[in-house]
Structure 1
């Protein structure tokens, strides 16, 4: 879609990778991306070709802006701001996402950024809900109980990639903040040299069906290294047995066995069941990420 001064909003191209990476890193270095981390941005940079709904603003044949709804991120080069590029990116992303199950567009204004708040208000966005970063109290004991006799736990194998994807997507269907992963995304993450299949626990019933999972990771570039409980999910028909709690505790034990003392996870503040579970094992909120959406849109699904 052309615009003033040969402005175009388009999908990502391989040639965009270097200039967009520079834009992201410079923005982080100047301090205008408070709430995002170098690890966040490097993860996005490494995944550019497979990020869903990633759009680029091009001005006079050069990429000058980016929007990634999956990352709640909008960024325009400081030299070309206040020229309608941010608004055009948001509107294009809304059009792009409208026919998918991934909407609506949600954006996170960096902490303390009055300019970002003013921009969002000007384009018709408003605060909707918050995500929290929770940290685990390392002094609290977290014993791992025995699993019920009719269940077993194992690790991920590539032969189960399709059932694994279905397990994730089905577990989060109807969730307060629905999640959908693709084979391309899973293969990208599992293709990294740092990936360890043992970082994933999968629960199976007596028939061998996958019924629950927990994924963990470690950011060893942080000082000290930080362990993350990335996802915990249980199929709806197997809930109410304490399996989510068991998987959460498994994740904590897994990370602690790797020498990690600082363990974190993120959760939607309105997901009362998850918040209660996390607090019950010693997690407490340490950072809030406000989420903004267009006035009249709805992001939260039904409680499950």
Structure 2
């Protein structure tokens, strides 16, 4: 049997979200379902008639990162394989690439990946802040200043990110332009003697903050400015009443991993990125 797999409008997202939550409870996992991302995800439903049996959440367009879920009552019928195959077809039609994201705590992840000949290409670690482990602010340099970016700071933010990550300026410029006017996103700039040297981005909702796009100008790295910016931001978020604060890091990015742990973050989930090596 082959389900009908189709992209659905936002009005049908609640049913899919409920499916993902049902899978989370059944498997004791937390699938990475981020609705307040830089660009809204694409969601697809797999159905037999009116019965929802599976779902896909896709982040990105040409480089797709997909999360799949199969209703526990409909497993072991090849639906998961068909969902992955559909993601691959969509990516191929767009001339792009694809990955499947999975919570490594799931007992079915390894056998599912083996059955589909998927290889784990990378692991992203999601860390949660433990407020009790956040160290006090150190003595701040007298010329150190942290502020929220305004719309006219777009060029400054772009320059720091492009330099820190080595990304093409035109792509970073478009990314910053999209985010800096979006109320969900706020950039935070760290300055030394009036010169912007570091930036991070906050994705906020009423209860949660995700820290992302955290970088320091290359010529200023190794001087502690990144740690100062992160700690200053964390203290301000905690003072504002936020307690659910998160950050992600590649498992093998040891310097960043150690920095986040030193600032009070503790590992929460490991998300494997699965695909087929070209």
Instruction: Please confirm whether the aligned pair reaches a TM-score higher than 0.5, indicating the same fold.
Output: yes
What SS does the corresponding residue of 1:233 show, helix, strand or coil?
strand
What SS does the corresponding residue of 2:160 show, helix, strand or coil?
helix
User: 2:198 is matched with which residue: 191, 194, 212?
Assistant: 212
Match status 1:82 vs 2:69? no
What SS does the corresponding residue of 2:234 show, helix, strand or coil?
helix
Cα distance per residue 1:65-103 (max 9 Å; x no partner): 32414565123566596245213223135426754xxx5
User: 2:88 is matched with which residue: 82, 87, 91?
Assistant: 91
Matched with 1:111 is 105
CA contact 1:109–1:290 (8 Å) conserved in 2: yes
> How far 1:105 moved relative to its partner?
1.9
Question: Gaps (5+ residues) in structure 1?
Answer: 298-304
What SS does the corresponding residue of 2:78 show, helix, strand or coil?
coil
Matched with 1:167 is 160
Matched with 1:257 is 239
Cα distance per residue 1:126-175 (max 9 Å; x no partner): 233432233335155321432474x643211122335434533543347x
Distance 1:118 1:180 in 2: 42
User: 1:278 is matched with which residue: 253, 260, 273?
Assistant: 260
Count of residue correspondences? 263
> How far 1:110 moved relative to its partner?
6.2
State the superposition RMSD in angstroms.
Answer: 4.0
Structure richer in strand, relative to its length = 2
CA contact 2:251–2:257 (8 Å) conserved in 1: yes
Cα distance per residue 1:268-291 (max 9 Å; x no partner): 220011112123334332x23141
How has the CA–CA distance of structure 1 residues 162 and 60 changed in structure 2, closer, same or farther, with 3 Å as cutoff? farther
Distance 1:86 1:184 in 2: 34
CA contact 2:104–2:269 (8 Å) conserved in 1: no
What SS does the corresponding residue of 1:182 show, helix, strand or coil?
helix
Matched with 2:40 is 51
Tell me the TM-score normalised to structure 1 length.
0.66
Distance 1:74 1:162 in 2: 37
How has the CA–CA distance of structure 1 residues 241 and 104 changed in structure 2, closer, same or farther, with 3 Å as cutoff? farther
Matched with 1:68 is 58
Distance 1:85 1:232 in 2: 37
How has the CA–CA distance of structure 1 residues 8 and 266 changed in structure 2, closer, same or farther, with 3 Å as cutoff? closer
What SS does the corresponding residue of 1:111 show, helix, strand or coil?
coil
User: 1:292 is matched with which residue: 250, 253, 273?
Assistant: 273
Question: Gaps (5+ residues) in structure 2?
Answer: none
How has the CA–CA distance of structure 1 residues 67 and 228 changed in structure 2, closer, same or farther, with 3 Å as cutoff? closer
How has the CA–CA distance of structure 1 residues 59 and 281 changed in structure 2, closer, same or farther, with 3 Å as cutoff? closer
Distance 2:174 2:132 in 1: 31
Distance 2:260 2:119 in 1: 28
Cα distance per residue 1:190-209 (max 9 Å; x no partner): 234xx6x5xx421246675x
Tell me the TM-score normalised to structure 2 length.
0.71
Distance 1:211 1:260 in 2: 26
